[in-house]
C-alpha cells in the first residue's frame, strides 16, 4: 500500500462539498433566468411559480455561499491550519516561473522536460483559489445590489444597477467557464488523475500525486519526518499545521496477542504512574 | 308522418273539388282567400319544377309548417301577389311568378335591408346573396322569440354560418376568409348565449367592412364594442391607440387587434391573445416589434427587445406572471403617451407605477432609462457604461478562458504523449 498524504481535512471537505452544491445550484438557477427560453430551463419554467421558486432558490444559495465565505475567513484566521493555508497561498515569483516552465515543457521547448518541484499549493491552485475569492466578492456585491434594488436605488442612479446586472452576468460566465476549463481539468481530465482526484472525498493524495504536483512539499515533509526521528519531541507539532503523513498501518488484522499485550502495557504504565 | 296521410286525403278530395273551385274562381274573378285551393296542389311533396338550367326546385309547401308560422293566418295570395293570374291554376302547368314582396308589410326592415350589404349583392347579381327568406325562412317563418326560429338569438350564428362558414361559398363570393364553424360558439361571446352575429354586424342594415357607416368599419369598432363595454370604450378612445384609430390610422389598434375577432376568449384562457402569458410575447410585439410601424411612427424599434433583456422580460419569458409585462407599466385600454400627464409612465406618475410592485420605491427609483440598450455608442450615459462593461468582460472572458484552455490543452497533450511512450 502506497503512502497517503492528507490534503483536505474533514472540515475542508465539507466546505468544498458545500461550495460545490451551492455553486452548481447558483449556476443553474442563474442562467435559467438569462436563458429562460432555453430547452433545459423547461423543468423550471413549466412548474407553476417555477420562475419565482428559481429566484428564491438563487438568493438562498447566494446567502449560503456568502455564509460559507464568512466561515472560511474565520477558519483561515482562527485555526493554525488555516493560517498555514494563508501563508502557503501567497503567490510569489516561483509560481510565475513554474507556470512559465510548465508551458515550455508542454510546448517541448525545454528538451528534455524540466522536472518541476512545486510547493504545497502550486500555481494552478493559487490562481484558482484567488480567482474564486475575487469572483465571490464581485458576485456578492453585485448580487446584493440586484436583490436590494429599492434600497440601492434610493442613493444611486438606475444605470449603476444596470452595470451591476451586467457584471453579475458576465462574471457568472467567467466563473462557470473557469470551473469547467481550469478546475475540472485539474481534478478530472488531467490524464494523471483521471477519472477523478479522490481528495475531495477521501481527503488524501497518493505519493505519486504529491510528487507530480507538490514535489517541494513532499521533500519538505520527508525531511521533517527524518527530523522528527532525529530530534524527537521538538518538531512534533504536526507539521505546523501543514500537510502531514498519515500512519500507514491502519488496517492491521486483529490479533488477540496484541490486545493482551496492549492491556499489559497499560497496566505497566498505570503501576508506575505518579500523578500529574 | 301525419301530414302525409292528411295530405293524401286532401289530394283525393281536391281531385273532385278542384274543378268546382276553379270554375267559381274564374267566374267570380276574385283572389282566393282560402289556402286549401293552393295547398291542394302544393301539399304534394313530389311537386317539382325544372328551371331554365334544368335545375329541379321543389314546390312543396308544408301546411302544418305554414299554419304554425307567424304568417299562419294569412292567405297565400297575401304574399304571392303576382300569382293572381288564374291561368296558373289550370292544371298547374304554367310557370308562375312566385316572387314575394315582404316590403308591403315590413316597410322599415325592407328599407334597412336596401341600404345593407346583402341587398347590394343582389343588385350586383350575386348568385346566392341573402334575400329575406335566406335568413327568415319561407313558409315556416317563426317569430324571433321562438327558440326554433332561424332568427332566434340561439340560432342566428348557425343561420349565418350556412353561408359564411362554407369555404366554397366564401371563395366564390370573395369574402376573404371563412369563419371556422364553432369558432364563435366557443368564444366568450358565444358562450353567453345572449350575444350573436347581429349584435356587432347589425341585421337588415348589415354593411360591408369598407363602408364607413358599417358597425365593423375600423374606426367604428370601439363604438360597436362599447354598446356593451361602454366603460372600456370610454377609456380606450382617450388612449393613444384610440385617438389614432379614430383618425383613421389603419395601423393603430382597435379592440379586435388585441382581443381577436370572432373567437374572442376570456383573459384567463391561455389561448387568449390578452392572456398575461401572451401579452408581451405576441400581442404588443405584433406591432411594436414590427419594423413597418416603428419606422412609420419613428418609435425606437428596440422596446420589445430591450424589455426581453431586462429582469422583467427574462423572467416573464420563463413564464413568471408576477414579473411586469407591457401592461403592468403602460396600462391596458388607457395606454397614453409618456408626455401625457395622465399616462402611467408620465415622469411624475412613475414612482407610483413602479411602487405598485416595488413597495417603498423612492423618487430616485423611478428615474433613469428603462428600455435601455447597452451600447458604447448609446445616447444614455448608463447605456454607454454598460456597453463598455460588456466589451471589457467579453475580452476578459475570451482572453482568460482562451488562455486557460490553451494552457490545459497543451498540458493534456504532453501528458498523453508521455504516457504513450
Going from N- to C-terminal start, the domains of chain B cover 1-100, 103-184, 295-373, 374-406
Query: Given CB atoms, is B322 within the 8 Å cutoff of chain A?
Result: yes
The CA–CA distances, whole Å, from B282 to A110, A216, B166, B221, B276 equal 62, 64, 29, 22, 11
Distance CA B170, CA A164 (A): 58
Residue A94 has pLDDT above 80, yes or no: yes
Q: Does A235 have pLDDT greater than 50? A: no
Interface test mutation site (partner A, options B281, B310, B318, max chain A beta carbons within 10 A): B318
Mean pLDDT of A130-149: 96
The answer to whether A190 contacts B414, with C-beta atoms less than 8 Å apart, is no
Q: Residues of B with CB below 8 A from A162's CB?
A: 372, 374, 382, 385-386
Contact criterion met (CB below 8 Å) for B382 and A163: yes
Average of per-residue pLDDT across B10-22 = 48
pLDDT in tens, A45-58: 888 889 999 999 99
Rounded to two decimals, the ipTM of the complex is 0.79
Cβ <8 Å between B389 and A166: yes
DSSP assigned state of B219: G
**Mean pLDDT of all residues in chain A?**
86
The residues pairing with B226 across neighbouring beta strands, listed in sequence order, are none
CB contact under 8 A, B397 and A173: yes
Nearest neighbour of B315 by CB, restricted to A36, A102, A150: A36
Lowest-pLDDT range, A15-19, A244-248, B104-108?
A244-248
How close B367 comes to chain A (CA, Å)? 7
Which of A163, A171, A184, A193 is best to mutate for the B interface (most B CBs within 10 A)?
Answer: A163
Residue B356's alpha-carbon distances to A55, A209, B334, in angstroms, are 20, 60, 17
Looking at residue A275, its pLDDT comes to 62
Say if CB A88 and CB A119 are below 8 A apart: yes
Quote the pLDDT of residue A160. 94
Closest residue in B to A171 (Cα) is B393
* Span B245-257, average pLDDT: 88
Backbone angles phi, psi at B57, to 5 degrees: -120, 135
Instruction: Determine, for residues A174 and B385 on separate chains, whether the beta-carbon distance falls below 8 Å.
Output: no
Predicted confidence at residue A236, as pLDDT, reads 44
Average pLDDT of the residues in A233-259: 57
Binning pLDDT at 50, 70 and 90, where does residue B7 land? very low
Q: Is the pLDDT reported for residue B23 higher than 50?
A: no
Count other C-beta atoms under 10 Å from residue B27's C-beta: 8
Does B397 contact A157 at a Cβ distance shorter than 8 Å?
no
Chain B residue with minimum CA distance to A37: B318
Burial of A261 (0-12, 13-18, 19+ CB in 10 A): exposed
- Comparing CB atoms, the residue among A55, A154, A163 nearest residue B386 is A163
pLDDT bucket at A242, cuts 50 / 70 / 90: low
pLDDT score, position B29: 41
Comparison of pLDDT for B19 and B216, the residue scoring more: B216
Residue B63 has pLDDT above 60, yes or no: yes
Asked if the model's pLDDT at residue A26 lies above 60, the reply is: yes
Which of B311, B358, B382 minimises the CB distance to A158? Answer: B382
Average pLDDT over residues A115-134: 92
The C-alpha cell 528534455 sits at A112
What is the pTM (predicted TM-score) of this model?
Answer: 0.77
Residue spans of alpha helices (H) in B124-174: 132-136, 156-164, 167-172
pLDDT digit string (tens) for B115-134? 888 877 665 655 567 788 88
Residue B88, pLDDT > 70, answer: no
**The pLDDT value given to residue B95:** 59
Give the residue-averaged pLDDT of B337-355: 92
**Arithmetic mean of pLDDT, B95-122:** 78
B277 CB-contact burial (10 Å; exposed 0-12 / middle 13-18 / buried 19+): middle
φ, ψ at A89 (rounded to 5°): -90, -15
Question: Which has the higher per-residue pLDDT, B241 or A238?
Answer: B241
Assess B319–A contact: CB distance below 8 Å, yes or no: yes
List chain B residues with CB under 8 Å of A170: 389-390, 393-394, 396-397
What pLDDT does residue B51 have? Answer: 67
Residues in chain A within 8 Å Cβ distance of B317: 36-37
3-state secondary structure of B20: helix
Which range is least confidently modeled, A53-67, A140-154, B175-189, B274-288?
B175-189
pLDDT of B225 > 50? The answer is yes
> Which element (helix H / strand E) includes B234?
helix B230-238
Q: d(Cα B189, Cα B179) in Å, to the nearest integer?
A: 15
Strand partners, B57: B49
Q: How confident is the model at residue B180 (pLDDT cuts 50, 70, 90)?
A: confident
Q: Which residues of B touch A106 (CB under 8 A)?
A: 407, 410-411, 413-414
> In chain B, what is the straight-line distance between the N-terminal and C-terminal CA atoms, in Å?
103
3-state secondary structure of B49: strand
Opening angle at CA B214, ends B213 and B216, nearest 5: 140
Top pLDDT among A139 and B379 is at A139
Whether B386 sits inside 8 A of A173 (CB atoms) is: no
C-beta of residue A164 within 8 angstroms of C-beta of residue A146? yes
DSSP letter, residue B394: H
pLDDT: is A229 or B30 the higher one?
A229
What confidence category does residue B405 fall into, taking pLDDT thresholds of 50, 70 and 90?
very high
Whether residue B371 is predicted with pLDDT greater than 60 in this model: the reply is yes
Instruction: Establish if B362 touches chain A: CB-CB under 8 angstroms.
Output: yes
Q: With CB atoms and an 8 Å threshold, state whether B404 touches A178.
A: yes
Check CB contact under 8 Å for A155 and B368: no
How large a percentage of chain A has pLDDT more than 90? 57
- The answer on pLDDT for B350 being more than 50 is yes
pLDDT tier for residue B94 given thresholds of 50, 70 and 90: low
- CA separation for the pair B386, A71 (Å, rounded): 33
Residue B191 clears pLDDT 80, i.e. is over it: yes
> CB-based contact (8 Å) between B276 and chain A?
no
| Winning range, highest mean pLDDT, from A110-114, A244-248, B47-51 | A110-114
Residue B30 has a pLDDT of: 42
Contact A106/B411, CB-based, under 8 Å? yes
Q: Which chain B residue lies closest to A185 (C-alpha atoms)?
A: B408
CA distance A29 to A47: 14
Specify the pLDDT at position B127.
59
A32, A146, A170 member nearest B390 (Cβ): A170
Q: Is B56 helix (H, G, I), strand (E, B) or coil?
A: strand
Q: Is residue B260's pLDDT more than 80?
A: yes
Q: Taking CB atoms and an 8 Å limit, are B404 and A154 in contact across chains?
A: no
The whole-number average pLDDT for the span B16-24 is: 48
pLDDT over threshold 60, residue B175: yes
Please judge whether A157 and B368 are an interchain contact, meaning their C-beta atoms are less than 8 angstroms apart.
yes
Q: What is the pLDDT of residue A247?
A: 54
Which segment of A242-251, B168-177, B315-324 scores lowest on mean pLDDT?
A242-251
Helices (H), B29-56: 36-42
Q: What is the per-residue pLDDT for B411?
A: 92
Residue B96, pLDDT score: 61
Q: Taking CB atoms and an 8 Å cutoff, what residues of chain A touch B396?
A: 170, 174
* Interface A:B, Cβ pairs < 8 A: 135
pLDDT of residue A139: 97
Q: What is the pLDDT of residue A269?
A: 72
Q: Does the beta carbon of B154 lie under 8 angstroms from any beta carbon of chain A?
A: no
Is a pLDDT exceeding 80 seen at residue B303? yes
Long-range contacts of B201-209 (CB under 8 A, 24+ apart): B202/B116, B203/B112, B204/B109, B204/B110, B204/B112, B204/B113, B204/B116, B205/B112, B205/B113, B205/B115, B205/B116, B206/B116, B206/B117, B206/B118, B207/B115, B207/B116, B207/B117, B208/B117, B208/B120
* Domains of chain A as residue ranges with CATH: 4-92+119-205 (1.20.950.20)
In chain A, whose CA is at the least distance from the CA of B354? A150
Asked if B401 reaches chain A (Cβ–Cβ under 8 Å), the answer is yes
Higher pLDDT, B331 or B68: B331
Amino acid at each position: 500500500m502506497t503512502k497517503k498524504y492528507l490534503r483536505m481535512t474533514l472540515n475542508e471537505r465539507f466546505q468544498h462539498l458545500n461550495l460545490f452544491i451551492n455553486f452548481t445550484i447558483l449556476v443553474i438557477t442563474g442562467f435559467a433566468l438569462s436563458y429562460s427560453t432555453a430547452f433545459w430551463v423547461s423543468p423550471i419554467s413549466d412548474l407553476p411559480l417555477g420562475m419565482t421558486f428559481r429566484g428564491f432558490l438563487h438568493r438562498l444559495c447566494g446567502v449560503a455561499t456568502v455564509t460559507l465565505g464568512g466561515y472560511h475567513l474565520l477558519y483561515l484566521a482562527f485555526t493554525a491550519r488555516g493560517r498555514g493555508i494563508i501563508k502557503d497561498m501567497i503567490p510569489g515569483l516561483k509560481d510565475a516561473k513554474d507556470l512559465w516552465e510548465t508551458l515550455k515543457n508542454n510546448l517541448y521547448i525545454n528538451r528534455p522536460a524540466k522536472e518541476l518541484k512545486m510547493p504545497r499549493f502550486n500555481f494552478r491552485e493559487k490562481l484558482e483559489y484567488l480567482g474564486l475569492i475575487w469572483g465571490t466578492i464581485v458576485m456578492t456585491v453585485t448580487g446584493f445590489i440586484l436583490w436590494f434594488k429599492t434600497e440601492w436605488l434610493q442613493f444611486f442612479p438606475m444605470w449603476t444597477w444596470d452595470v451591476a446586472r451586467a457584471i453579475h452576468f458576465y462574471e457568472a460566465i467567467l466563473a462557470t467557464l473557469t470551473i469547467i476549463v481550469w478546475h475540472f481539468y485539474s481534478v478530472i481530465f488531467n490524464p494523471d488523475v483521471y477519472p477523478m482526484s479522490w481528495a475531495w472525498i477521501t481527503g488524501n493524495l497518493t505519493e505519486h500525486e504529491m510528487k507530480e504536483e507538490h514535489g517541494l512539499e513532499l521533500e519538505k515533509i520527508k525531511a521533517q519526518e527524518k527530523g522528527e526521528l532525529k530530534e524527537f519531541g521538538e518538531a512534533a507539532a504536526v507539521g505546523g499545521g501543514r500537510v502531514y503523513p498519515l500512519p500507514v498501518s491502519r488496517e492491521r488484522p486483529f490479533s488477540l496477542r496484541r490486545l493482551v499485550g496492549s492491556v499489559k502495557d497499560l497496566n505497566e504504565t498505570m503501576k508506575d504512574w505518579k500523578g500529574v | 308522418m301525419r301530414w302525409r296521410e292528411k295530405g293524401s286525403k286532401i289530394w283525393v278530395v281536391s281531385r273532385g273539388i278542384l274543378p268546382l273551385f276553379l270554375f267559381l274562381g274564374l267566374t267570380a274573378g276574385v283572389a282566393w282567400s282560402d289556402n286549401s285551393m293552393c295547398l291542394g296542389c302544393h301539399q304534394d311533396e313530389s311537386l317539382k319544377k325544372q328551371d331554365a338550367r334544368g335545375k329541379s326546385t321543389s314546390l312543396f309547401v308544408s301546411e302544418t309548417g305554414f299554419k304554425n308560422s307567424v304568417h299562419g293566418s294569412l292567405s297565400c295570395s297575401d304574399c304571392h301577389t303576382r300569382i293572381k293570374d288564374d291561368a296558373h291554376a289550370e292544371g298547374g302547368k304554367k310557370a308562375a311568378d312566385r316572387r314575394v314582396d315582404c316590403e308591403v308589410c315590413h316597410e322599415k326592415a325592407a328599407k334597412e335591408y336596401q341600404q345593407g350589404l346583402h341587398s347590394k349583392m343582389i343588385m350586383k347579381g350575386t348568385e346566392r346573396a341573402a334575400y329575406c327568406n335566406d335568413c327568415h325562412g319561407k313558409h315556416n317563418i317563426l317569430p324571433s322569440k321562438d327558440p326554433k326560429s332561424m332568427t332566434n338569438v340561439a340560432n342566428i350564428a348557425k343561420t349565418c354560418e350556412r353561408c359564411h362558414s362554407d369555404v366554397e361559398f366564401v371563395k366564390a363570393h370573395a369574402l376573404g376568409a371563412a369563419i371556422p364553424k364553432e369558432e364563435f360558439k366557443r368564444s366568450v361571446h358565444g358562450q353567453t348565449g345572449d350575444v350573436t352575429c347581429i349584435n356587432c354586424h347589425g341585421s337588415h342594415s348589415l354593411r360591408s367592412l369598407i363602408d364607413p357607416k358599417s358597425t365593423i368599419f375600423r374606426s367604428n369598432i370601439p363604438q360597436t364594442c362599447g354598446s356593451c363595454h361602454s366603460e372600456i370604450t370610454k377609456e380606450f378612445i382617450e388612449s393613444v391607440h384610440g385617438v389614432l384609430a379614430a383618425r383613421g390610422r389603419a395601423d393603430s389598434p382597435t379592440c379586435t387587434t388585441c382581443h381577436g375577432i370572432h373567437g374572442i376568449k376570456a383573459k384567463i384562457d391561455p389561448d387568449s391573445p390578452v392572456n398575461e402569458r401572451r401579452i408581451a410575447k405576441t400581442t404588443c410585439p405584433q406591432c411594436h416589434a414590427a419594423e413597418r410601424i416603428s419606422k412609420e411612427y419613428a418609435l425606437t424599434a428596440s422596446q420589445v427587445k430591450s424589455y426581453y433583456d431586462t429582469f422583467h422580460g427574462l423572467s416573464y419569458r420563463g413564464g413568471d406572471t408576477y414579473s411586469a409585462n407591457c401592461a403592468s407599466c403602460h396600462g391596458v385600454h388607457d395606454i397614453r403617451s409618456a408626455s401625457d400627464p395622465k399616462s402611467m409612465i408620465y415622469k411624475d406618475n412613475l414612482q407610483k407605477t413602479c411602487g405598485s410592485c416595488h413597495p417603498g420605491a423612492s423618487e430616485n427609483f423611478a428615474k433613469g432609462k428603462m428600455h435601455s440598450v447597452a451600447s458604447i455608442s448609446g445616447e444614455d450615459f448608463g447605456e454607454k457604461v454598460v456597453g463598455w462593461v460588456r466589451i471589457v468582460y467579453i475580452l476578459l472572458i475570451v482572453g482568460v478562458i482562451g488562455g486557460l484552455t490553451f494552457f490545459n490543452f497543451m498540458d493534456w497533450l504532453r501528458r498523453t504523449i508521455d504516457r504513450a511512450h
